[in-house]
Amino acid sequence: MKENKIKTAITIRSFDLQSDAHEKLSDKTAIVYTNSSGQRLTEKDLCAAIRDAEGVIAGTELFTATVLMSARHLKVISRVGIGLDNIDLDFAGQQGITVLNTSHAPVAAVAEHTIALIFSLFKNIPQYHQRIHQGDYSIQQGSMIRGKTLGIVGLGKIGRNVAILAETLGLKIIYFDPWAQNSIPDTWVGKTCLEDLLRDADIITLHIPPQTQNRPVLDKTAFSFCKKGVVIINTARESLIDENALTDALDHGFVASAGLDVVSVEPYKGSLLNYPQVVITPHVASNTFESRQQMEIEAVENMLHALGM
């Protein structure tokens, strides 16, 4: 290891040490720490890990003001993934620390996972799988997806990809996004307020960042606007849904089913596990082999570029 190389740390718990991304990082920089624990680092451990680093390849560990203050030389945090709500962005800005994400690589994988959750719910696939393993071959009638109205909240990269896939399956597309750009297909119908989308959608899927103070978008009031029997999908952020309100809506039949890749606590042990019509996956929407490869190389390249390399 050459002393004049820029020092970097890999704090994400699942970085492929045999990948082209790691090879490029180790060739260009001196890696002073690698998280090989398989666990998300605590604040104390994170402070120790990045103490001497100028650049960090990060995951979902919490970069609080305390953590950032402990890293005197830190210039760049490059996140493997899209969300940045685990990083104190205001304090990072005050410290002159550049924060980057991989906004392109996870898009297709998350869009596919969203569609997979819709299929699972409408075709009762998880229930059949579990029953057959128990020797139960009873039948539960499913529903067609074709002809349903899909309400997309947030028409960014992922939301658009979901719409494209869903339209090919015969779903009608409506969306709510005040900041949606031009070049939107004429067949997609924009709604001027969220309540209008909630009233018209058979399926609601969320593709927006966390709201101010983690305010939920789907709370008790929002569920009251929805069609009875609506299907809810969330592959974005857990704070977008009030889980108590969702449980109440399930109990009263206002929500028929839900597909969630993000929940309030991971690993999840809460009351939503009592509902067979709720399919929960462990925050893995972007975790495909192809997507992870692309995210890791994008994160490394982002950091190297920001460091002037």
| pLDDT given at position 266 | 83
57-95 tens-digit pLDDT: 999 999 999 999 999 999 999 999 988 989 999 999 999
Between β-strands 189-190 and 203-206, what pairing exists: parallel, antiparallel or unpaired?
A: unpaired
| 283: annotated active-site residue | yes
Find, among 246, 248, 256, the residue nearest to 216 by Cα: 246
Considering only the C-alpha atoms of the chain, give the largest distance between any 2 of them, rounded to a whole number of Å. 67
**Is 160 considered catalytic here?**
no
Q: Where are the alpha helices (DSSP H) in the chain?
A: 20-28, 43-49, 65-70, 89-94, 107-123, 125-133, 157-168, 194-200, 220-225, 243-251, 289-306
Q: What is the pLDDT of residue 1?
A: 44
Domains in the chain, start-ordered, CATH in brackets?
Answer: 7-103+289-306 (3.40.50.720), 107-280 (3.40.50.720)
Q: How far apart are CA 29 and CA 1, in angstroms?
A: 9
Q: Is 249 helix (H, G, I), strand (E, B) or coil?
A: helix
The catalytically annotated residue of 43, 199, 283, 301 is 283
Q: Residue 263: is its pLDDT beyond 60?
A: yes
User: What tens digit of pLDDT does each residue of 194-206 get?
Assistant: 999 999 999 999 9
Query: What tokens appear for 109 in the block?
Result: 């994988």
pLDDT over threshold 70, residue 3: no
User: Which ranges of 217-288 does DSSP label H, i.e. alpha helix?
Assistant: 220-225, 243-251
Query: Which tens digits make up the pLDDT trace of 108-145?
Result: 999 999 999 999 999 999 999 999 999 999 999 999 99
Check: CB of residue 304 under 8 Å from CB of residue 27.
no
Place of tokens 């390399």: 309
Please name every residue paired with 22 in a beta bridge, in sequence order, or none if there are none: none
Which of 104, 266, 290, 305 is catalytic? The answer is 266
Picking from 33, 32, 86, 34, the residue whose alpha carbon sits closest to that of residue 59 is: 86
pTM: 0.88
Question: What are the strands, taking DSSP E only, across 146-292?
Answer: 149-153, 172-176, 189-190, 203-206, 230-234, 255-260, 278-280
Q: Is the pLDDT of residue 182 over 80?
A: no
As a whole number, the mean pLDDT across the chain is: 95
Catalytic residue among 237, 238, 292, 298: 237
Is residue 167 annotated as a catalytic residue, yes or no?
no
97 phi and psi angles, rounded to 5 deg:
-95, 125
> How far apart are alpha carbons 279 and 247 in whole angstroms?
13
What is the predicted pLDDT for the residue at 164? 98
Confidence of residue 2 (pLDDT cuts 50, 70, 90): very low
CB distance 285 to 81 below 8 Å = no
Q: Can you tell me the distance from the alpha carbon of 195 to that of 151, in angstroms, rounded to the nearest whole number?
A: 11
Give the mean pLDDT of 183-210: 96
pLDDT number for residue 267:
84
pLDDT for the residue 181: 78
Give the CA distances from residue 181 to residues 104, 127, 150, 156, 220, in Å, rounded to whole numbers and listed in that order: 17, 40, 19, 9, 30
Q: How far is CA 128 from CA 124, 248, 259, in A?
A: 6, 25, 16
